[in-house]
Amino acid sequence: MDHGGGMMSMMGGWMLLWALVGLAVLVLAVLGATWLARRLGPGRREEAHSSLRRPVEAPSAQELLRRRYAAGEIDREEYLRMQRDLTGG
């Protein structure tokens, strides 16, 4: 009894094998692209370059006082009083 073996059955097996290989290659390509995007994404670039930047120093109290006076947040009398307080005079 012949169960339909032969050349056609063999071709179907090879087609299935190549379909699985193609699917595996596609999955690996997507995973690789995802990994690469995360590795080179904006957040990672900032982290990689952060060690090269100098730390930002906080402005001094005098600088903050000058900025507030220049912005009009405080008037001249308050500015002079606060400046005396800061200098200890």
Position 55 confidence tier, pLDDT thresholds 50, 70, 90: confident
pTM value? 0.40
Residue 7 has pLDDT above 90, yes or no: no
pLDDT tens by residue, 16-34:
899 999 999 999 999 999 9
Structure confidence at residue 2 (pLDDT): 53
pLDDT given at position 22: 95
How do the domains of the chain map onto residue ranges? 7-50, 57-89
Instruction: State how far the Cα of 88 lies from the Cα of 72, in Å rounded to an integer.
Output: 24
